[in-house]
């Protein structure tokens, strides 16, 4: 006979019931909100809402983990609402999990994250908030009659050889792609509806081999279906309409068979191959990486506009239309620590992914790398550095120092500028030169040669970070290093960053990193003085006392 454990009837909490439930038992939840987590390993259980679907909610917000975590075993979840904040709603790392009639939401993370050989069978599951809907990594199973709506990034991700069957499922209003298949993903996508995406509907990349059957892709900001180089794909009887051009984009180096449905189908001219050297999936990945940077809204918009122009020019060239000469050289102005070097690296990789530059490799130099010690030596050094950067990005930090007035060194700097002007014009299709420095000084730098300003396509202004952004940067650095902030610390950090003077010595993101280093040192001293072995939470937590000690130390220094 199956054991049934009622919560909160027989047992006051869900945790109490799970601890004593024998294998094969059914735990029922009465309507209500349960501020708990379901964490199971090697168990065989069913957890079910006793009322209507969604009437019982497991809310793990602030509880340092997903609402449902399964590591091996066989688990069925029926009719629950599962929500988390900084974690996926559901994480399945091995075993088999059946999700029925559930509603999932996450502040940051996926609705369902399946990995480690897990099998997930989801039916009538709705993901209504989160970064992603379903993420399959080296996992399989079925997604049947489900819905992913309004997530901030990709709706469904299939990667690392994962092979789920996704059938009869609607994916809509995603911030990026509808379905992203990469790293040898092998899903079957059948009779699905993908629409309203912020980019392409379905993207296939990195040696993946999906089969996409009788699926409707429509109203997407990017192409409907993209198949990248090195992939094999079968697209059968699909409808692709109301998308960006080309509706179906297949790289010539892909092995793809495409047939479109007559119902709302496309003329043959709508099926175009991408440029031979372009990698649409890599462009998407890099733009996502750019978007993940904190702040820099104006810079991100400018970079996207440049990428859009390059892409349209490639389409025009492929259509036999004229394309004007375009410079890829840029000026970055602003204070240190505002992300100029990171954006320059991403820009170079974007140019490579678009087929504009052969390798997109990044070389950062300064005055000492370009200026020689005697007349004629500078032109030789500058030319050598420029030639080594060919095919990628030459990033000249504090470029205004080349135009510094005073003495013979200024003449050598001028020689470097004059040499750069000629090389940039002669090789504008083979290299991207980015010069960076303080806003006012960069204006003086451009005046050093009458032809210098005209060599650059655009100037991008990197503004100082405000307190909100610096707190976010500090939090990201801390999480990356396995630290968490104690209650009240984010507010104290905001006040600290708000008091800092934004003068020439202000380091922006470097200020956040230096402060975190000081807080970690302060924490080490505090933990050593405890007189006992610190717990895991002690080791991870930075406190207000650490901030006060770090700021006092910096003030004394």
- DSSP letter for each residue of 386-441: HHHTTTSEEEETTGGGGG--SHHHHHHHHHHHHHHHHHHHHTTTT-EEEEEE-HHH
Question: In which residue are the tokens 């429509």 written?
Answer: 218
In 3D space, the residue among 68, 50, 67, 70 whose CA is nearest the CA of residue 59 turns out to be 67
Distance CA 12, CA 8 (A): 5
- Measured at the CA of 251, the angle between CA 249 and CA 254, to 5 degrees, comes to 120
Long-range contacts, 207-210 (Cβ 8 Å, 24+): 207/183, 207/231, 208/158, 208/181, 208/182, 208/183, 208/184, 208/233, 209/184, 209/185, 209/233, 210/158, 210/181, 210/185, 210/186, 210/234
Distance CA 273, CA 123 (A): 36
H-helix or E-strand spanning residue 195: strand 193-195
Long-range contacts, 164-168 (Cβ 8 Å, 24+): 164/120, 164/134, 164/136, 164/139, 164/140, 164/188, 165/141, 165/190, 166/134, 166/142, 166/190, 166/192, 167/142, 167/143, 167/191, 167/192, 168/144, 168/192
User: Residues with Cβ < 8 Å from 501, sequence gap 6 or more?
Assistant: none
Q: Is the peptide bond before 217 cis (omega within 30 degrees of 0)?
A: no
One fold for 4-277 and 293-462: no
Give me the pLDDT at residue 266, please.
Answer: 34
In 3D space, the residue among 227, 238, 226 whose CA is nearest the CA of residue 265 turns out to be 238
Give me the pLDDT at residue 324, please.
Answer: 65
In 3D space, the residue among 209, 196, 251 whose CA is nearest the CA of residue 226 turns out to be 251
Q: Which CATH number fits domain 293-462: 3.40.50.300, 1.25.40.420, 3.40.50.1000, 2.40.30.200?
A: 3.40.50.300
Contact 278, 251 (CB under 8 A): yes
List, as one string, the DSSP characters of 82-116. Answer: EEESSS-SEEEESSEEEEES-EEEESSSEEEEEET
And the tokens for 367?
A: 């005055």
Give me the pLDDT at residue 554, please.
Answer: 59
List, as one string, the DSSP characters of 508-543. Answer: THHHHHHHHHHHHHHHHHHHHTTSSPPPHHHHHEE-
Give me the pLDDT at residue 270, please.
Answer: 29
Question: In which residue are the tokens 């068979």 written?
Answer: 257
Query: pTM of the full predicted structure?
Result: 0.51
Distance CA 519, CA 490 (A): 13
Q: Which whole-number Å values give the CA distances from 438 to 295, 340, 365, 505, in the listed order?
A: 18, 11, 16, 12
Give me the pLDDT at residue 389, please.
Answer: 87
H-helix or E-strand spanning residue 19: helix 14-20
- The pLDDT tens digits along the chain (557 residues) read 568 899 998 899 999 999 999 999 999 999 999 999 999 999 999 999 998 889 999 999 999 899 999 999 999 999 999 999 989 999 999 999 999 999 999 988 999 999 999 999 999 999 999 999 999 999 999 999 999 999 999 999 999 999 999 999 999 999 999 999 999 999 999 999 999 999 999 999 999 999 999 999 999 999 999 999 999 999 999 999 999 999 999 998 999 999 887 544 332 322 333 333 467 778 888 888 888 888 888 888 888 888 888 888 777 776 767 666 677 899 998 888 888 888 998 998 888 888 888 777 888 988 888 888 776 788 888 888 888 888 889 999 888 888 764 444 446 778 888 888 888 877 777 888 999 888 888 888 888 777 788 888 788 988 888 888 888 888 888 888 888 999 999 999 898 888 887 666 666 788 888 888 889 999 899 998 888 898 988 898 999 999 988 888 655 55
Give me the pLDDT at residue 271, please.
Answer: 34
Strand partners, 46: 26, 76
Give me the pLDDT at residue 210, please.
Answer: 97
And the tokens for 549?
A: 């000690």
Contact 266, 259 (CB under 8 A): no
For the chain, domain boundaries: 4-277, 293-462, 467-556
And the tokens for 372?
A: 């020689």
Give me the pLDDT at residue 416, please.
Answer: 86
Give me the pLDDT at residue 262, please.
Answer: 57
Give me the pLDDT at residue 264, please.
Answer: 40
Residue 98 has phi, psi (to 5 degrees) of -110, 125
Q: Which CATH number fits domain 4-277: 2.170.150.70, 1.10.10.10, 3.40.50.720, 2.160.20.10?
A: 2.160.20.10
Q: Which CATH number fits domain 467-556: 3.40.1190.20, 1.10.8.60, 3.40.50.300, 3.40.50.720?
A: 1.10.8.60
Distance CA 84, CA 65 (A): 8
Give me the pLDDT at residue 159, please.
Answer: 95
And the tokens for 302?
A: 């400018």
Contact 456, 416 (CB under 8 A): no
């Amino acid at each position: 006979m199956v054991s049934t454990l009622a919560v909160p009837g027989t047992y006051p909490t869900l945790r109490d019931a799970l601890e004593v439930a024998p294998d094969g038992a059914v735990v029922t939840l009465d309507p209500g909100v349960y501020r708990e987590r379901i964490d199971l390993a090697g168990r065989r259980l069913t957890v079910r809402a006793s009322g209507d679907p969604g009437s019982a909610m497991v809310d793990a917000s602030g509880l340092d983990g997903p609402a449902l975590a399964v590591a091996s075993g066989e688990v069925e979840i029926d009719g629950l609402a599962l929500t988390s904040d900084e974690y996926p709603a559901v994480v399945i790392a091995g075993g088999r999990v059946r999700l029925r009639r559930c509603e999932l939401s996450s502040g940051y993370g996926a609705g369902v994250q399946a990995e480690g050989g897990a099998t997930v069978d989801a039916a009538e599951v709705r993901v209504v908030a989160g970064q992603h809907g379903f993420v399959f990594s080296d996992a399989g199973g079925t997604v049947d009659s489900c819905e992913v709506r309004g997530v901030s990034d990709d709706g469904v991700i299939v990667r690392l050889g994962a092979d789920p069957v996704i059938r009869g499922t609607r994916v809509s209003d995603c911030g990026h792609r509808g379905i992203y298949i990469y790293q040898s993903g092998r899903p079957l996508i059948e009779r699905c509806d993908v629409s309203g995406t912020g980019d392409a509907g379905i993207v296939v990349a990195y040696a993946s081999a999906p089969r996409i059957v009788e699926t409707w892709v429509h109203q997407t900001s990017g192409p409907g279906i993209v198949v990248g180089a090195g992939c094999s794909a079968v697209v059968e009887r699909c409808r692709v309409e109301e998308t960006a051009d080309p509706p179906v984009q297949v790289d010539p180096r892909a092995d793809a068979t495409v047939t479109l449905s007559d119902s709302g189908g496309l003329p043959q001219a709508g099926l175009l191959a991408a440029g031979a050297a372009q990698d649409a999936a890599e462009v998407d990945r890099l733009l996502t990486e750019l978007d993940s940077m904190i702040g820099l809204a104006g810079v991100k918009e400018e970079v996207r506009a440049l990428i859009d122009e390059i892409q349209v020019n490639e389409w025009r060239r492929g259509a036999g239309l004229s394309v004007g000469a375009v410079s890829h050289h840029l000026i970055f102005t602003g204070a240190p620590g505002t992300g100029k070097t990171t954006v320059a690296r991403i820009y170079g990789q974007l140019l490579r992914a678009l087929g504009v530059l052969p390798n997109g490799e990044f070389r950062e130099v300064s005055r000492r790398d370009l200026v020689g010690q005697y007349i004629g030596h500078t032109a030789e050094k500058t030319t050598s550095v420029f030639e080594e950067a060919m095919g990628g990005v030459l990033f000249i930090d504090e470029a205004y120092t080349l135009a510094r007035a005073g003495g013979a060194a200024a003449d050598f700097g001028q020689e470097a500028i004059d040499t750069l002007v000629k090389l940039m014009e002669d090789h504008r299709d083979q290299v991207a030169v980015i010069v960076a420095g303080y806003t006012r000084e960069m204006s003086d730098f451009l005046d050093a040669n009458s032809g210098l300003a005209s060599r650059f396509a655009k100037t991008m202004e990197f503004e100082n970070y405000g307190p909100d952004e610096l707190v976010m940067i500090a939090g990201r650095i801390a999480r990356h290093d396995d630290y968490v902030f104690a209650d009240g610390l984010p507010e104290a950090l905001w006040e600290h960053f708000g008091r800092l003077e934004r003068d020439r010595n202000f380091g922006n993101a470097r200020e956040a990193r230096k402060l975190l280093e000081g807080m970690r040192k302060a924490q080490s001293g505090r933990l050593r003085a405890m007189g006992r072995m610190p717990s895991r939470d002690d080791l991870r937590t930075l406190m207000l006392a650490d901030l006060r000690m770090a700021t006092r130390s910096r003030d004394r220094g």
